């Protein structure tokens, strides 16, 4: 994706410099005169021109940038070819964006046992709509080891209220008609509050990938649903055998039994070799390591399920399907505007209700809302990239975004949500259901960007 091609001068942080030192120590210069150096000239030229544009970074600009390339083709050290790089490439060591444990200060991943709990994606560095598989957020029910499943041994069994129970191997599934679709997955714990510093901390438990697999409806038609089928239970093969109940209407609408993710096999942390995609439903429903689907006639109230029960029908209605949500990822908390002038505000919008129809951006704290440009064609239940051209006049302000989806649902502010529930609004108000409220970023006169809820 484009990120690898965009050098961030201001991101010349200590770690970058030290990794460059490591590279030098490793004798890269000595090995620089390889075939790669011939093609290197063109790359160097592009770096030089791009470097003129001001760039935002996670940290304030750290000292002067390296001198731009001269005509010499040796202005930069060269990356020697290696077996690993040839076989399975790697991003530039200048690109240092990584996942972090979520929430900050919460349970670490890996924990002392080597279990993975919740890990958030670095949205502040995201471009486009696809989350690189290596940076996709990760969540497990109670903390889990990642199972090392041999795909040749793995099967999916479908049984229960069907005419013919069927077991499919991975090879069976790959013979069947497939779909390839963009879908986000978002954890129900993806909540923003005033204590978070960055968009990774506040919104990093969402990611979007291109998923490939067989529609669950295709498999269920093969099995033949009995008339009493109203729910299905999807179950994983990890040690806690995470299982969730979902309406059969969802299965027949758009669920995918996915073996592919972003052009390759689903990654182990994301459910290798097989996972369920329940597009637009809370993350926990998107069952990883999928081994079994049972068709049933009632809500099964397993461990993953009973938390979705509520006393109030209106509360209950906010479970399952995720509401319309957007956030500005750049500039966002912890970043720094180098000075007044032009910036494209960039962000992500998504909804469990369908495709994003419009996104609006306010650069004056929500008084005036302006239509944002949607990049590309918004897909249903997928991240949608938006942009808004902005000239910062150097004054303190607040920037926000809100979106509307294809069925007309509008992303609310926290005040509006409190009003709906008829409760007094204060800074610590918690939005019921998955928190899809508007996120403000504060821009200070010195160009620093901070959490507007703080």
Residues 219-248 that bind another protein (CB under 8 A): 219, 221-224, 233, 235, 239-241, 243, 247
Which one of 67-75, 122-130, 215-223, 265-273 is the stretch in contact with another protein (CB under 8 A)?
Answer: 215-223
- Chain positions 60 to 119 lying near another protein, rule: CB under 8 A, are 106
Complex with another protein: residue 65 or 101, whichever CB lies closer: 101
Considering the rule CB under 8 A, would residue 317 count as an interface residue with another protein? yes
Which one of 25-33, 120-128, 218-226, 264-272 is the stretch in contact with another protein (CB under 8 A)?
Answer: 218-226
Give min distance, CB of 208 to another protein, in A.
20
Complex with another protein: residue 7 or 236, whichever CB lies closer: 236
Complex with another protein: residue 88 or 113, whichever CB lies closer: 113
Q: Choose, by CB under 8 A, the member of 407, 423, 444, 454 that binds another protein.
A: 407
Contacts of 11 (CB under 8 A, 6+ apart): 55, 57, 58, 59, 94, 96
Residue 240 — left, alpha, or beta (φ > 0 → left; ψ -120 to 50 → alpha)? alpha
Whole-angstrom Cα distance, residue 245 to residue 274? Answer: 18
Starting from the edge strand earliest in sequence, which strands make up the sheet with 373-374, in order? 325-330, 341-350, 384-392, 373-374
Which one of 77-85, 146-154, 265-273, 414-422 is the stretch in contact with another protein (CB under 8 A)?
Answer: 414-422
Q: Choose, by CB under 8 A, the member of 122, 323, 331, 378 that binds another protein.
A: 323
Q: Choose, by CB under 8 A, the member of 25, 83, 298, 427 that binds another protein.
A: 298
What x-and-dash track marks residues 146-175 binding another protein by CB under 8 A?
Answer: -----------x-x---xxxxxxx--x--x
- Chain positions 116 to 145 lying near another protein, rule: CB under 8 A, are 142
Starting from the edge strand earliest in sequence, which strands make up the sheet with 138-144, in order? 100-101, 116-120, 138-144
Give min distance, CB of 127 to another protein, in A.
30
Q: Choose, by CB under 8 A, the member of 17, 21, 93, 314 that binds another protein.
A: 314
Considering the rule CB under 8 A, would residue 178 count as an interface residue with another protein? no
- Chain positions 6 to 35 lying near another protein, rule: CB under 8 A, are none
Give min distance, CB of 171 to another protein, in A.
9
- Chain positions 327 to 386 lying near another protein, rule: CB under 8 A, are 352-354
- Chain positions 30 to 59 lying near another protein, rule: CB under 8 A, are none
- Chain positions 425 to 444 lying near another protein, rule: CB under 8 A, are 430-435
Tokens at residue 134, please?
């290596």
Sign of the dihedral defined by the CA atoms of residues 96, 103, 192, 186, in that order: positive
Whole-angstrom Cα distance, residue 103 to residue 120? Answer: 8
Complex with another protein: residue 64 or 105, whichever CB lies closer: 105
Q: Give the residue from 348, 335, 414 showing the smallest Cα distance to 383.
A: 348
Q: Are 310 and 316 in contact (CB under 8 A)?
A: yes
Complex with another protein: residue 144 or 200, whichever CB lies closer: 144
Q: Choose, by CB under 8 A, the member of 46, 408, 445, 454 that binds another protein.
A: 408
Considering the rule CB under 8 A, would residue 294 count as an interface residue with another protein? yes
């Amino acid at each position: 994706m484009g990120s690898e091609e965009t050098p961030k001068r201001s991101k010349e942080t200590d770690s970058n410099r030290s990794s460059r030192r490591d590279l030098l120590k490793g004798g890269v210069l000595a090995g620089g005169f390889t075939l790669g150096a011939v093609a290197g000239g063109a790359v160097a030229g592009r770096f030089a021109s791009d470097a003129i544009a001001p760039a935002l970074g996670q940290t304030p600009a750290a000292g002067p940038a390296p001198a731009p390339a001269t005509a010499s083709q040796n202005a930069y050290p060269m990356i020697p070819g290696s077996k690993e790089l040839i076989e399975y490439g790697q991003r530039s060591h200048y690109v240092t964006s990584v996942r972090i444990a979520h929430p900050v200060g919460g349970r670490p991943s890996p924990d002392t046992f080597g279990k993975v709990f919740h890990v958030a994606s670095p949205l502040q560095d995201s471009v486009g709509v696809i989350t690189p598989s290596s940076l996709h957020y990760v969540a497990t029910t109670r903390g889990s080891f990642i199972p090392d499943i041999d795909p040749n041994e793995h099967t999916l069994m479908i049984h229960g209220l069907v005419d013919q129970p069927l077991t499919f191997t991975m090879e069976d599934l790959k013979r069947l008609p497939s779909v390839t679709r963009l879908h986000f997955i978002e954890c129900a714990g993806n909540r923003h509050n005033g204590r978070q510093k960055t968009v990774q901390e506040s919104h990093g438990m969402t990611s979007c990938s291109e998923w490939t697999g067989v529609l669950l409806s295709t498999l269920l038609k093969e099995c033949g649903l009995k008339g009493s089928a109203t729910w299905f239970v999807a179950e994983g093969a990890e040690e806690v055998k995470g299982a969730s109940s979902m309406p059969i209407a969802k299965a027949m609408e758009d669920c995918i039994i996915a073996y592919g993710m972003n052009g390759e096999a689903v990654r182990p942390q994301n459910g290798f070799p097989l996972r369920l995609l329940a597009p637009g439903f809370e993350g926990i429903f998107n069952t990883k390591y999928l081994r079994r689907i049972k068709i049933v006639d009632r809500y099964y109230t397993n461990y993953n399920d009973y938390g979705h029960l509520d006393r109030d029908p209106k509360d209950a209605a906010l479970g399952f399907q995720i509401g319309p949500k957007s956030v500005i990822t750049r500039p966002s908390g912890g970043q720094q505007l180098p000075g007044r002038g032009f910036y494209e505000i960039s962000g992500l919008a998504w909804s469990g209700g369908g495709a994003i129809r419009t996104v609006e951006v306010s650069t004056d704290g929500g008084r005036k809302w302006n239509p944002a440009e949607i990049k590309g064609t918004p897909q249903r239940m997928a991240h949608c990239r938006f942009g808004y051209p902005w000239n910062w006049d150097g004054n303190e302000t607040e920037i926000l975004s809100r979106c509307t989806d294809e069925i007309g649902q509008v992303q609310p502010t926290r005040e509006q949500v409190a009003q709906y529930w008829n409760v007094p609004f204060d800074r610590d108000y918690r939005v019921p259901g998955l928190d899809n409220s508007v996120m403000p970023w504060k821009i200070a006169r010195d160009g620093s960007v901070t959490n507007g809820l703080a």
